[in-house]
Amino acid sequence: MKVSTQWLSEYVSLDGVTPEELAEKITRSGIEIDEIEQRNQGVTGVVVGYVKHKEKHPDADKLNVCTVDVGSGEDLQIVCGAKNVDAGQKVPVAVVGAVLPGDFKIKNAKLRGVASQGMICSAKELGMNDKLLPKDQQEGILVLPEGTEIGLPITHVLGLDDAVLEFDLTPNRSDCLSMIGAAYETAAILGRDVKLPAIDLIEAGGSASDKVGVTVENGELCSHYAIRYISGVKIGPSPQWMQNRLMAAGVRPTNNVVDITNYVMLECGQPLHAFDADKLGANIGVRSAREGEVLTTLDGQERKLDPSMLLITGEDRPAALAGVMGGLETEVTESTVNIALESAKFSGASVRKTSRKLGLRSEASLRFEKEVDPSAVIAALDRAALLLARHAGGSVAHGIVEQRSGSIQEKTISLSLPKLNAYLGTDISMLEVKAIFARLNFKCADSAEGIIDVQVPTRRGDITRDVDLIEEAARIHGYDNIPTTVIDGPTTPGAYTKSQAVRLNIRRTLTHGGFHEAITYSFTRPENTELFRAFSAGTNAVPLAMPMSEERSVLRTSLLPMLLESSEYNRNRKNADLSLFEIGKVFHSNEQKVTVQPTELTMLGLLLTGSKTEDVVGAQPRKVDFFDLKGAVESVLAELGLEGQYRADAPDGFHPGRSASLYLNQSPDKRVGVLGQLHPQLQRDFDLEDTYVAEICLDELYAAAMPEIEYRELPRYPSAQRDIAIVVDRSVEAGALLSAARASAGELLEDVRVFDVYTGEHVASDKKSVAIALTYRNPERTLTDEEVAQAQQNVVTALEQTFAAELRK
Amino acid sequence: MRERLEQLKQEALEHLKSVADAKQLDELRVKYQGKKGKLTEILRGMGGLSAEERPVIGQLANEVRDAIDAAVSSHAERFEREETERRLASETIDVTLPGRKLPRGAVHPLTQVIQEIEEIFIGMGYQIAEGPEVETDYHNFEALNLPKDHPARDMQDSFYITEELLLRTHTSPVQVRTMQSMDGEVPVKVICPGKVYRRDDDDATHSFQFHQIEGLVIGKNIRMSDLKGTLLTFMQKLFGEDTQIRMRPSFFPFTEPSAEVDVTYKKKGATEPSWLEVLGCGMVHPRVLEMSGYDPEQYSGFAFGIGAERIAMLKYGIDDIRHFYNNDERFLKQFARQ
């Protein structure tokens, strides 16, 4: 809402308060002032002039030489190029020494040899927003009303000595969608009085009910509908002061009738509509639209209507969309003589629905949606009728034709002072509270000890309970005057939950291992939900009802496509080497068509691509491989006190020979993750180098993670280490050899690990040599050579039998 | 025998004078003092001495041995010293070449901001609550005093999945779930961090996905002054001890009274701090308490919400919100210092 301070000062004195001070005060009291717009864009020395004569320029067809009286006693000769300049006009004249916006200084000049002592200006040259100018002022020089006084400063005539405050209203403060509402707010803040415009309406001519009748069918959607009948209007421009105020408010002047309805809407917050009464007909109705009805609205669009929309009808034909927009057919035009002026209260929800459905928002719908003040319906109607009589030559018929359901009642809310102070932590006295409500123009009456009954004016529909009054009191008292205190009550322990601690731990481990944490978008393109199905097999992706783009139209089902897109992004910026991880949610639905909340899994995604180079002189880059990735996964699990099992697998999206599924020792039947090389096809699709990715479901880790550390006493007796090298088929997994060794070595085996794998000229082409180190220890005593040899023999035998292993000597 | 010993001593000491390195020294030591050395050889003849002579010669022999030992040790020490000096002179490195660093990755700056805030509130006795990102209309709106036809609620502003399900537009539904799970018990002291989603065209300052941290306290006699005190402590821990806050009246459907909070903050390059809007807050609306099982005549509470992106942008002077979601390594790695 644009609030002209000049206009505002008609209702509340702004003496001694600059627009900047006022803006600051209003902002600190709850309505943010986004901007202070100075209407004067830099005009000085421009005055009203009278064009006495106009002659053609001797040497230029398009120029005129004008003799202009600017009230200085001496006529000026001014060369003017505007087509519309003519003798007898009142025009803005920038005399020598004047300045126009853009610091354009007016000097004596010669145009094609003829002296020019100034410039006749267009509205645009005066810095006025051409979008808000009436159509006839958008071209050529600005022609002022005939009666304008010669010599007056133009800033005064056009109301440019004005600062406009842009009120950024929260949805509850629709009362300030009017100048009077803004005045009540300003008055409360400044502690001053509100002066309302007088409505001394003179009714003349016949009775309105002889001319029109009103029938409201849907009382629940239109609680009050009122018509005044004004006859004999003359369509013409509205007075300059009114046009100035409309432009300050961001509304383009049209003609006197339309301008008056807009002016009163801005003044009172009550939208009005003027019908051409002769086109509308005598029987005005308010009813729901019927299936198949159409209406061409003022903007020239034909609108298809349905029964959810409320209509105004004339002789049962659609004439306007109630509260949204009028119809073209019954519009006020140059030839209109008689007017049916409507003021009503339509249901906010109904107007909002219609306006949404048609994608049609107007200044009227904006106000009706937020519920207009029921008391303003008649006040605004009378105010507009008065102005039509005064500025459009109309005569207002006797009486109002109206239909209303229910009566207007001011709410009374009890407010307890002890509760107010307990709620705010303040110590405000009853006297102060009463003074605050007096400033707000809310009447109060004592009800009981410490309790007052506060009567809420109908314009403040947002105030419904005592806490709303507490807020009013607090904001006028000043939030700055609320003290700062410490919560009074039992102390509570604060801590991370286990799952939160697990995630912190994972972040620490991975960042200490050189991974950067990524955060990607939760929405993705549908194809991406098909790539990695390890955790979404048999489920459906969740689509948005109204996505902003195809690219972000479904919820992600895996973190991996998002990380691949991030690496693609980096690769396009010449960075092919990347270690990323993300912790975030993925979404799966078990339904074809989603009706219940989808499953949300918290996943850890890892991505490694390109090469690693140690940051020392002479270090050679090394391509990352599966074991870099697996090592990271192992480290994460180790930090969480977990141990994984890695089983060769070929999940969707992965290289079938270089990928695994992850299980936990603690729950070996449940897959908790997948890891491996990205399938070469996807690698090409995303234009990446060899890339390794892993995805682990954290929800599956939380339960077993972070067990207490179990301390084991340090060994008292020495261990013995024995190495063996065996030759087996290439397909035999190291993990299987180690399991077999563990199973066969007996209790003395403390540790077993593979320390070398060899393929090449010294072994057959389908074989490999695996070197295994075994550590034995007896916690009770020193080992004997014989028992170690026996255990070692058992291992060798087992490996020979199970894997046809040959011992390398 | 006495003469032979004296002569041996002279000869050995003379020899030692010209010894050149540790190897020669060792050869000499063996030559004179070894098991088959000259001194041993002479001492073998002790058996033929008289009882009177034996102790005298014995003592002399000891003196000779000690003298040679002393000379050998002194040379040995010298050689060792010289050897050390030689090594030190030859063993030099260029200490300005880079070292082998431990790997260093970065926690995402948004996560860092959230963790910092979590730690501040854990220190004040808060729990951290979480909830689903796909929410029901009831939890996201209705239970927060935003009934279906509320003007503050606009279908166009949210990502709906069905009429009843949507991507949460704030983390307030977690507050609703927390209250409902508490079954009317107090105190409630939680913060709820997480991703939220709103239909907004992406530009430098808007993102359809962002992170919020909301807080909720419910108890007996919770006052608006407690909210102000809590936020002052919070902001001073986050932005420094000199930080001041001010509240401006505002509107949220789920709080009454409501406020926007400005903090004094010195922007990058500025000489003086200015007021910057950083969070919204208020006293929990009695409707919200009622709907989640608290009697507003007995209990009161406050709530606040802050955006992680805004804080990170302020703290680091980041001018484009999209950087947080592009995962450009050049961006991420700058946050490796924690």
Give pLDDT tens digits for B250-274.
Answer: 999 999 999 999 999 988 788 899 9
Q: For residue B238, how many other CB atoms are within 10 A of its CB?
A: 18
The answer to whether the Cβ–Cβ distance between A513 and B103 falls below 8 Å is: yes
**Among candidates B133, B222, B325 on the partner chain, residue whose Cβ is nearest the Cβ of A585:** B133
How many angstroms separate the CA atoms of A278 and A250, rounded? 31
Q: Where are the domains of chain A?
A: 2-39+163-190, 44-157, 208-404, 412-481, 498-704, 720-807
CB < 8 Å to A482, chain B:
224-225, 228, 247
> What is the residue whose two structure tokens read 């490999």?
A768
CB < 8 Å to A32, chain B:
248, 260
- Indicate whether B32 pLDDT > 60: yes
Q: Which one-letter DSSP state was computed for residue B277?
A: E
How many angstroms separate the CA atoms of A474 and A470, rounded? 6
Give the largest Cα separation in chain A, rounded: 133
Residue A127, C-beta contacts closer than 8 angstroms, at least 6 positions apart: A40, A41, A42, A43, A100, A101, A160
CB < 8 Å to B226, chain A:
425, 485-488
- Indicate whether A438 pLDDT > 70: yes
pLDDT of residue B52: 83
What is the CATH code of the structural domain delimited by A44-157?
Answer: 2.40.50.140
pLDDT of residue B187: 93
The correct CATH number of A2-39+163-190 out of 3.40.50.920, 3.60.10.10, 2.40.160.40, 3.30.56.10 is 3.30.56.10
Between A76-85, A519-528, B146-155, B185-194, the lowest mean confidence (pLDDT) is in: B146-155
How many angstroms separate the CA atoms of A604 and A581, rounded? 7
Inter-residue contact A207 to A229 (CB < 8 Å):
no
Size of chain B, expressed as the number of residues it contains: 338
- Indicate whether B337 pLDDT > 80: no
A4 alpha carbon, distance to own chain's centre = 27
The answer to whether the Cβ–Cβ distance between B197 and A522 falls below 8 Å is: yes
Please give the residue of chain A at the shortest CA–CA distance from B232: A484
pLDDT of residue B101: 86
* DSSP per residue, A315-350: TTEEEEETTTEEBSTT---TT---EEEEEEEE-HHH
The correct CATH number of A720-807 out of 3.40.50.10490, 3.40.470.10, 3.30.1360.230, 3.30.70.380 is 3.30.70.380
End-to-end Cα, chain B, rounded Å: 82
- Give the model's confidence band at A131: pLDDT under 50 very low, under 70 low, under 90 confident, else very high: confident
- Indicate whether B81 pLDDT > 70: yes
Determine the residue type at A510. L
The answer to whether the Cβ–Cβ distance between B159 and A544 falls below 8 Å is: yes
Q: Do domains A2-39+163-190 and A412-481 have the same CATH topology?
A: yes
- Indicate whether B152 pLDDT > 90: no
Residue B147, C-beta contacts closer than 8 angstroms, at least 6 positions apart: B141
What is the CATH code of the structural domain delimited by A412-481?
Answer: 3.30.56.10
Segment A716-759, tens digit of pLDDT: 999 999 999 999 999 999 999 999 999 999 999 999 999 999 99
Share of chain A above pLDDT 70, in %: 100
Segment A468-497, tens digit of pLDDT: 999 999 999 999 999 999 998 888 889 999
Determine the residue type at B292. S
How many angstroms separate the CA atoms of B48 and A106, rounded? 140
Inter-residue contact A611 to A485 (CB < 8 Å):
no
The answer to whether the Cβ–Cβ distance between B125 and A475 falls below 8 Å is: no
Which segments of B18-161 does DSSP mark as H helices, in order?
Answer: 22-33, 38-43, 53-90, 109-123, 137-140
The answer to whether the Cβ–Cβ distance between A479 and B246 falls below 8 Å is: yes
- Indicate whether B4 pLDDT > 60: yes
pLDDT of residue B193: 97
- Indicate whether A137 pLDDT > 90: no
What is the CATH code of the structural domain delimited by A208-404?
Answer: 3.50.40.10
SS3 assignment, position A118: strand
How many angstroms separate the CA atoms of B338 and B328, rounded? 19
CB < 8 Å to A507, chain B:
107, 111
A326 alpha carbon, distance to own chain's centre = 30
The two three-digit tokens of residue A487, written as one number: 């919560």
The residues in A 484-503 lying below 8 A from B, measured between CB atoms, are: 484-497, 500
The answer to whether the Cβ–Cβ distance between A484 and B229 falls below 8 Å is: yes
CB < 8 Å to A520, chain B:
325, 327
How many angstroms separate the CA atoms of A28 and A331, rounded? 43
Share of chain A above pLDDT 90, in %: 87
A717: left (phi over 0), alpha (psi -120 to 50) or beta: beta
φ, ψ at A56 (rounded to 5°):
-70, 145
What integer best gives the mean pLDDT of chain B? 90
The two three-digit tokens of residue A152, written as one number: 């007056």
- Indicate whether B1 pLDDT > 80: no
Q: Which one-letter DSSP state was computed for residue A551?
A: G
Inter-residue contact B188 to B172 (CB < 8 Å):
no
Q: Does A25 touch chain B (CB under 8 A)?
A: no
- Mean pLDDT over A88-102 rounds to 93
pLDDT of residue A650: 93
- Indicate whether B7 pLDDT > 90: no
- Give the model's confidence band at A205: pLDDT under 50 very low, under 70 low, under 90 confident, else very high: confident
Residue A642, C-beta contacts closer than 8 angstroms, at least 6 positions apart: A664, A665, A666, A701, A704, A705
Rounded to 10 deg, the angle between the B2-17 and B22-33 helix axes is 170
Candidates A221, A492, A553, partner chain B, best to mutate (most B CBs within 10 A): A492
The two three-digit tokens of residue B45, written as one number: 């003849």
CB pairs under 8 A between A and B: 244
- Mean pLDDT over B108-123 rounds to 96
Segment A244-295, tens digit of pLDDT: 999 999 999 999 999 999 999 999 999 999 999 999 999 999 999 999 999 9
Q: What are the distances in angstroms from CA B281 to CA A168, B153, B194, B303?
A: 18, 18, 17, 6
The correct CATH number of A498-704 out of 3.30.930.10, 3.30.565.10, 3.30.2310.20, 3.30.365.10 is 3.30.930.10
pLDDT of residue B9: 84
CB < 8 Å to A495, chain B:
122, 127
- Give the model's confidence band at B14: pLDDT under 50 very low, under 70 low, under 90 confident, else very high: confident
CB < 8 Å to A580, chain B:
327
Q: Could you tell me the pTM of the whole model? A: 0.87
Inter-residue contact A487 to B226 (CB < 8 Å):
yes
What integer best gives the mean pLDDT of chain A? 94
CB < 8 Å to B111, chain A:
507, 517, 519
How far is B172 from chain A, CA to nearest CA, in Å?
17
Q: Which one-letter DSSP state was computed for residue B55?
A: H
pLDDT of residue B16: 82
- Enumerate the β-bridge partners of residue A715: none
Size of chain A, expressed as the number of residues it contains: 809
- Mean pLDDT over A138-156 rounds to 91
- Mean pLDDT over A202-216 rounds to 92
Residue B96, C-beta contacts closer than 8 angstroms, at least 6 positions apart: none
Q: What are the distances in angstroms from CA B122 to CA A166, B125, B129?
A: 41, 5, 12
- Mean pLDDT over A220-244 rounds to 95
pLDDT of residue B155: 52
Rounded to 10 deg, the angle between the B109-123 and B224-239 helix axes is 130
How many angstroms separate the CA atoms of A191 and A445, rounded? 20
The residues in A 296-325 lying below 8 A from B, measured between CB atoms, are: none
**Among candidates B125, B128, B161 on the partner chain, residue whose Cβ is nearest the Cβ of A493:** B125
- Mean pLDDT over A676-684 rounds to 95
pLDDT of residue B150: 77
The answer to whether the Cβ–Cβ distance between B160 and A30 falls below 8 Å is: no
Inter-residue contact B309 to B324 (CB < 8 Å):
yes
How many angstroms separate the CA atoms of A237 and A258, rounded? 10
pLDDT of residue B15: 83
CB-side neighbour CA atoms (13 Å) of A70: 22
- Give the model's confidence band at A619: pLDDT under 50 very low, under 70 low, under 90 confident, else very high: confident
pLDDT of residue B154: 67
pLDDT of residue B338: 54
pLDDT of residue A530: 94
Please give the residue of chain A at the shortest CA–CA distance from B104: A514
φ, ψ at A234 (rounded to 5°):
-115, 120
CB < 8 Å to B332, chain A:
516-518
The answer to whether the Cβ–Cβ distance between A511 and B104 falls below 8 Å is: yes
Exposed (0-12), middle (13-18) or buried (19+): which is A502, by Cβ within 10 Å? buried
Please give the residue of chain A at the shortest CA–CA distance from B335: A516
- Enumerate the β-bridge partners of residue B249: B259
How many angstroms separate the CA atoms of A126 and A98, rounded? 11
Q: Does A351 touch chain B (CB under 8 A)?
A: no
How many angstroms separate the CA atoms of A155 and A551, rounded? 53
Q: Are strands B127-128 and B188-197 parallel, antiparallel or unpaired?
A: parallel
pLDDT of residue B2: 79
